[in-house]
Chain A
Amino acid sequence: MTEPTRWLPEPDDSNRPFFDGARAGVLKLQRCDDCGGWMFPVRRRCQHCGSTALQWANASGRGTVYAHGQLQREYHVRHRGALPVIMAQVDLAEGVRMNTNLVGVSPADVHVGMVVSVDFEHSESGEAIAVFRPAGTPS
Chain B
Amino acid sequence: MLAAEGTGEDAMTHPMNGAAAICGLGITAMGRVYRDAEDLAAEAVYLALEDAGLPKSELDGLLINAGVTNGVSIPLHITLGLRELNVLTFMQGYGSSAGQMIQYAAMAVANGLANYICCVFADDPLKEGVRTGDAYAGGARRNAMSGLYPVYGFMGALPMYALGARRHMDLYGTTQDQLGAVAIGQRRWAAMNPRATKREPLDLAGYHASPWVVEPFHILDCCLVSNGGVAVIVTTPERARDLRQPAVYVRGFAQAHQHDAGLAGTDALVHTPAAKAGPRALAMAGVSRNDVTQCQIYDCYTYTVIATLEDYGFCAKGEGGPFVADGKLAPGGALPTNTGGGELSSFYMWGMTPITEAVIQGRGHGGERQQSNDVILVSGNGGVLNYHSTLVLSPHAA
Which of A's residues lie within 8 Å of B, judged by CB? 7-12, 14-15, 18-19, 39-42, 47, 63, 66-73, 75-76, 78-79, 84-85, 87-89, 91-92, 95-97, 99-101, 107, 111-112, 129
- Quick check: B262 and A68 within 8 Å, CB to CB? no
Q: Is the interface of A mostly helix, strand, loop or mixed?
A: mixed
- Quick check: B152 and A87 within 8 Å, CB to CB? yes
Q: Is the interface of B mostly helix, strand, loop or mixed?
A: mixed
Task: List which B225-254 residues lie within 8 A (CB) of chain A.
Answer: none
State A96–B264 Cα separation when bound (angstroms).
Answer: 5
**Which of chain A's residues have a CB closer than 8 A to the CB of B166?**
67-69
**Which of chain A's residues have a CB closer than 8 A to the CB of B142?**
9
Interface CB pairs A-B, < 8 A, 28: A7-B151, A8-B148, A8-B151, A9-B147, A11-B144, A18-B145, A39-B263, A41-B146, A66-B167, A67-B164, A68-B166, A78-B151, A79-B153, A87-B154, A87-B159, A87-B163, A87-B214, A89-B163, A91-B265, A92-B264, A95-B264, A96-B262, A99-B149, A100-B152, A101-B152, A111-B170, A112-B167, A112-B171
Besides the contacts A95-B263, A129-B152, what 5 more A-B pairs have beta carbons closer than 8 Å?
Answer: A15-B143, A67-B163, A79-B153, A88-B163, A97-B264
B155 contacts partner chain A, Cβ-Cβ < 8 Å: yes
8 Å CB contact of B170 from A9, A79, A87, A112: A112
B78 contacts partner chain A, Cβ-Cβ < 8 Å: no
B216 contacts partner chain A, Cβ-Cβ < 8 Å: yes
8 Å CB contact of B144 from A12, A99, A100: A12
Task: List which B46-103 residues lie within 8 A (CB) of chain A.
Answer: none
B137 contacts partner chain A, Cβ-Cβ < 8 Å: yes
Q: Which residue of A lies closest to B161 (CB)?
A: A69
Task: List which B168-187 residues lie within 8 A (CB) of chain A.
Answer: 170-171
Q: How far is the CB of B159 from chain A (nearest CB, A)?
A: 6
Which of B's residues lie within 8 Å of A, judged by CB? 137, 142-155, 159, 162-167, 170-171, 211-217, 260-265, 269
- Quick check: B164 and A99 within 8 Å, CB to CB? no
**Which of chain A's residues have a CB closer than 8 A to the CB of B144?**
8-12, 15, 19
8 Å CB contact of A69 from B155, B215, B264: B215
Q: Which residue of B lies closest to A41 (CB)?
A: B145
Q: Which residue of A lies closest to B150 (CB)?
A: A76
Q: Which residue of A lies closest to B143 (CB)?
A: A9
Q: How far is the CB of A107 from chain B (nearest CB, A)?
A: 8
State A97–B195 Cα separation when bound (angstroms).
Answer: 42
**Which of chain B's residues have a CB closer than 8 A to the CB of A76?**
150-151, 153
**Which of chain A's residues have a CB closer than 8 A to the CB of B154?**
87, 99
Interface centre among B137, B142, B216, B264 (most CB of A within 10 A): B264
**Which of chain B's residues have a CB closer than 8 A to the CB of A78?**
151
State A90–B122 Cα separation when bound (angstroms).
Answer: 36
**Which of chain A's residues have a CB closer than 8 A to the CB of B269?**
66-67
Q: How far is the CB of B201 from chain A (nearest CB, A)?
A: 25
Q: Which residue of B lies closest to A130 (CB)?
A: B148
State A107–B216 Cα separation when bound (angstroms).
Answer: 12
- Quick check: A69 and B143 within 8 Å, CB to CB? no
- Quick check: A14 and B263 within 8 Å, CB to CB? no
- Quick check: B215 and A72 within 8 Å, CB to CB? yes
Q: Which residue of B lies closest to A113 (CB)?
A: B170
State A99–B148 Cα separation when bound (angstroms).
Answer: 9
State A70–B215 Cα separation when bound (angstroms).
Answer: 5
Q: How far is the CB of B176 from chain A (nearest CB, A)?
A: 13
8 Å CB contact of B153 from A9, A40, A101: A101
- Quick check: A47 and B261 within 8 Å, CB to CB? yes
State A11–B152 Cα separation when bound (angstroms).
Answer: 17
- Quick check: A97 and B152 within 8 Å, CB to CB? no
Q: Which residue of B lies closest to A90 (CB)?
A: B264
**Which of chain B's residues have a CB closer than 8 A to the CB of A67?**
163-164, 166-167, 269
- Quick check: B155 and A75 within 8 Å, CB to CB? yes
**Which of chain B's residues have a CB closer than 8 A to the CB of A92?**
264
State A99–B159 Cα separation when bound (angstroms).
Answer: 11
Q: Which residue of B lies closest to A73 (CB)?
A: B213
Q: Which residue of A lies closest to B165 (CB)?
A: A69
8 Å CB contact of B152 from A15, A70, A96, A99: A99
State A90–B145 Cα separation when bound (angstroms).
Answer: 17
State A122–B300 Cα separation when bound (angstroms).
Answer: 35
State A84–B211 Cα separation when bound (angstroms).
Answer: 13
**Which of chain A's residues have a CB closer than 8 A to the CB of B151?**
7-8, 76, 78, 129
State A133–B391 Cα separation when bound (angstroms).
Answer: 44
State A100–B269 Cα separation when bound (angstroms).
Answer: 16
State A95–B163 Cα separation when bound (angstroms).
Answer: 19
State A10–B145 Cα separation when bound (angstroms).
Answer: 9
**Which of chain B's residues have a CB closer than 8 A to the CB of A18?**
145
